Amino acid sequence: MILNRGNLFSFLVTAFVGVIFLLLVFETWALFTGNKPISDYFREMVHDVPGLAFAVAILVGIVVGHFLWGPVSGILAPAPRRIRDLMSRRVSN
């Protein structure tokens, strides 16, 4: 297997989705069998350390907003430029 940036990103996304799936399976099992679900652990953590929970909520909101915002387009978007033009500007400054 050749490890490059695309393969690494694909592996990380696959691993993240796999972990989420396993957490959902555990939550479902806990709810059906009467054991303590993951949501109870999070509820206790939020009551014990509300500042940390608030910071995590802010960070999750920023990351989700970053990916859902989309590319810049419209009347206020900057004009597209070529990398060659940007590099020549850097050299001249």
Band of pLDDT at residue 20, cut at 50, 70 and 90:
very high
> So what's the pLDDT on residue 63?
87
Band of pLDDT at residue 44, cut at 50, 70 and 90:
very high
pTM, entire model = 0.55
What average pLDDT does the segment 27-41 reach?
Answer: 93
Band of pLDDT at residue 70, cut at 50, 70 and 90:
low
Q: Which residue's structure tokens are 């109870």?
A: 40
**Cα angle: 24, vertex 61, 58; to 5 degrees:** 105
From CA 55, how far away is CA 53, in angstroms rounded? 5
Q: What percent of the chain has pLDDT over 70?
A: 83
- Say whether pLDDT at 2 is over 90: no
From CA 90, how far away is CA 32, in angstroms rounded? 62
Q: Count CB atoms within 10 A of the CB of residue 55.
A: 11
